[in-house]
Amino acid sequence: MTQTQDVQTANAGSNPLLAPISDLIDYASIKPEHIAPAIEALLAQTRQGIEALISDNTQPDWDHFIEPMEALSSRLWRAWSVAGHLNAVINTTALREAYNGMLPVITEFSTWIGLNQDLFARYLAVSRSAEFASYTPTRKRIIELALRDFRLSGVELEGEQRQRYAQLNEEIALTSQKFSENALDAMDNWHYQVDDAAMLEGLPQDVIDAAAQAASEAAALADATDAADVATRADNADKPASAGWRFTLKMPSYLPVMQYAKNATLREALYRGYATLASELGDPQYDNSSVIEKLLDLRLEDAQLLGFSNFAQMRLQTRMAQSAEQVIDFLRDLAAKARPFAQRDVAALRDFAATELGMTTLEPWDYTYVSEQLRQARYAYSDEEVRQYLSEEKVMQGLFGVIKTLFSIDLVPFDAPVWHDDVRVFQVQEQGRAIGYLYTDLYARKGKQSGAWVDSERSRHVTGSLSIMPVVYLNCNFSRPQGSKPALLTHDDVITLFHESGHALHALLSKVDEPAASPFASVEWDAIELPSQFMENFVWEWPVVCSMAVHWESGRQMDRDLFDRLLSARNFQSGMQMVRQIEFSLFDMLIHTSAEPIKIDAVMQILNQVRQEVAVIMPPSWNRFAHNFSHLFAGGYGAGYYSYKWAEVLSADAYSLFEEHADSDHGTLNPKIGQLFKDQILAVGGSRPAAESFEAFRGRGPSPEALLRHSGLVAEAA
């Protein structure tokens, strides 16, 4: 019996994380105490296997070196992906401790791989072998990217520099995790209690009901804790009136308050809470100020050890963009086109506030409220009105219908163990044959990180008798059902869902057999948003909306007139939205192009300078947006946030081909062009450069014209 078989058969029954790579994970059975034993066993097994490959004296080639390397580490990375996912969606003290306990060990192993000169030499030998010329383009690319990544991982460093680089990797991983924990804990431990019903004026009833339920549950929990009697919780579960209303900074609570609450005191309280989250102006135990400083210092030192002047220069080695200067020029060019429209947007907002609402001075917590009032006045609809037609079940059916029409793919409900009752599982089928699995976790809850994201549990891997299907997680933070009322989504929520589905499809529909060329492993970061942003466009097509917009109570389909009003507001304040995203992107690039360590005061100064250059609404001096900017400091987007706008150029231009082939009956839902997108973008994953994939689909390189047109910015851009 081999060691691999021994670990698998001896422990898989008692430890779900040690299940065979071809099996689905039993999420319902995973406990925090499973994490360390599983990771330690798989690490030992993987390291021993790699050392055996290194010591093999035969000439390395694909079948006897590259492919075994892929297979050796697959179970380890699957188990670690599961642990990381659970830490993000059902975070508890025990789970966090288990995950954090293994984080340095995993980081050390990754560093050992990256710095392993013997491994590097064997990859190099394969690339220089006579057989290399006969390899497929995908296999050649995998080897070339591996050599690049070895060099970017410090493999050519020696002596003290190697030791320091290894130490840096561990410190960066732990510091990023600390940023994420501070942001999550600061949000989970913040609430605002309302006891006066008059303060709730303007809020949708289901938001009020959710706040009452949250207050009741908090009061019952406090009573149960005080009395050490769990029964007390049940006794108090139906007493929302006496408990008041409890609001949080989770989006289903925060955003409706900012949009609809007439009471400025309530809006101000939540705005201040969110704007100072995880900063020195909030709860000091969750202050991310020193974490940001440390992370920027570590990233800079990491880059300079490898011979780069700054972190951005290092990061761009693996991107479509060639340099930080190119990115900054790209962003400033977009800003120049968008800013006149943004200035027009904010002028209209202030004029409406003064003339219609009697608000001659707008505070920071007023803008979202006034914006919603202006939209209702201008287009005669509200988000809340549209929301009544967008139940989660119908929206999911509509999304799956789009996927079926465009890509000939079915998503069929599937019974499998899950980590929370909110989760649903779907088997992904192509012509009746299973090709993958999708887990959806759509509702906000305590212990779940904010935002929306997709991650991969495992990638497609086909070789010989082995056939592993991809497994993907799709996570959102939507409002959950309230009593007999289903979960209702805003139109923005639907856009988010379609966006994340694009990421999921990228992984699920890949036809690349080698995991090292899977989309999430090797597609350039500034092209990874292409499928996701592409999918957003279909939410603005009447045939799509018509298929899913049914009033949850009456069963009546949304009127075309309401949709037309929604569509006419598509570019409402698009200039303001564009410059806001450019602000984030420029800030990110500028703090990461510094060749010297910078303190938090300098970070805030750079942010303010960017706002002076780009923004049309200046936040207050005490706004600490950066302290909760997890994309940059915990989500992999450091020196990469520009990717959203970069990929938006690609996605808008790609969608314009669907527009060119649209008809009056089906709009842009063209199966022929959908198949082309599937074949040339989704199926090829990272097996070739993203620029080549785009040109294969579009027949030319990308043009920004479609993005400007879709954003309503053509007139002044021309």
CA angle, residues 654, 659, 662, in degrees to nearest 5: 135
Q: Which of 538, 537, 545, 550 is nearest to 565 (CA)?
A: 545
Give the C-alpha separation, 157 to 164, whole Å.
Answer: 10
Query: What does the DSSP assignment read for 425-477?
Result: EEEEEETTEEEEEEEEEEE--TTS-SS-EEEEEE--EEETTEEEPPEEEEEEE
Give the C-alpha separation, 580 to 383, whole Å.
Answer: 21
Two tokens at 523? 């597609």
List the catalytic residue out of 500, 514, 536, 648: 500
3-state helix, strand, coil in the chain (%, to 5): 65, 10, 30
- Beta carbons of 25 and 87 less than 8 angstroms apart: no
Give the C-alpha separation, 153 to 313, whole Å.
Answer: 14
Give the C-alpha separation, 328 to 337, whole Å.
Answer: 14
To the query of whether residue 301 is one of the catalytic residues in this protein, the response is: no
Q: Which of 653, 646, 634 is nearest to 709 (CA)?
A: 653
Give the C-alpha separation, 540 to 478, whole Å.
Answer: 20
Two tokens at 368? 């979202």
- Beta carbons of 478 and 544 less than 8 angstroms apart: no
Two tokens at 433? 């044959």
Chain-centre distance of CA 594, in angstroms?
26
Q: Which of 655, 639, 645 is nearest to 531 (CA)?
A: 655
Beta strands in 220-326 (DSSP E): 245-247
Report the run of H or E that residue 518 belongs to, with start and end. none
Q: Which of 600, 526, 50, 549 is nearest to 296 (CA)?
A: 600
User: Residue 601 is which amino acid?
Assistant: D
Two tokens at 201? 């004026």
Could you give the residue numbers annotated as active site?
500
